[in-house]
A and B are shown apart, each in its own frame.
Chain A
Amino acid sequence: METEFFEKDKLLVLKITDEIDEHSVQKIRRRADYEMERYMPKKIVFDFDSVTFMDSAGIGLIIGRYKFANMIGAKICMRNLTGSVRRIFDMSGILKLIPVV
């Protein structure tokens, strides 16, 4: 995962660079929570541009980070959803909760 923090806007960009499945998601989750706690952002963007594979573990990952963000008073959104990543999020209904930018 690559992180970028923009102090002025309190914006944290988390770019996921691994395949997302039950195995890899544990590492991604830990790292995301660590970065969120470290920067205390107001806005978090999950970037899926480099995600070459995702299964339902990705839905759990984003719902979990959504709850964590709520706890620290931040808003989350997602960007660069394509192909089956997009279809999986569409199916899950979480796009009603989390905007795509």
Chain B
Amino acid sequence: MFNNEMKLEFISKSSNEAFARIAVAAFASQLDPTIEELADIKTAVSEAVTNSIIHGYDKKQGVVKISAWLKNNEIIIEISDKGKGIENIEQAKEPLYTTKPNLERSGMGFTIMESFMDKMNVESVIGLGTKITMSKIIKPKIENDEDEFKMLMTTNS
């Protein structure tokens, strides 16, 4: 069913954010994404991981888990924590909504994940944790090569 799968676990330190997004991007590169598609994935991963670290676990230490799957030309990414959970998911997803305005947060994390990925889903239980699932279709580039090949063939004959 899936063409490939990976799992990653790390403790909730913000110094792991760069590592997490680069690891997922390296995995996604098997689908031959454009630089822009790769940047979208990196940004969305960074948003979800940061949320787990600063909201989910706050100042406590915990584990952030990432699973990712490649299915045909789609990447599916799941990012979860066992932190404090979200009380009102609909409200949390609203642009500019943040529970930490004093820490220079802008409340745009979920909005960015939604617009940089094709799909985004939030599951959360108070006291148990939060799981973000998102996916993105990487547009295949092989067709262009085929077109080019056909063109070459016709001009040659």
Q: Which residues of A contact B (CB under 8 A)?
A: 19, 21-23, 25, 29, 53-57, 59-61, 63-64, 83-84, 87-88, 91-92
Contacts and interface: CB of A to CB of B under 8 A. Distances in A.
B122 interface: no
Contact of B14 (A22, A83, A87): A22
Interface residues of B, number: 26
Interface string B29-61: 000000010011011001100100110000000
Contact of A84 (B39, B95, B105): B39
Contacts, number: 66
B86 to A, nearest CB: 17
Contacts of B39: 53, 83-84
A23 B15 contact: yes
A19 B106 CA distance: 18
Contacts of A88: 43, 108, 112
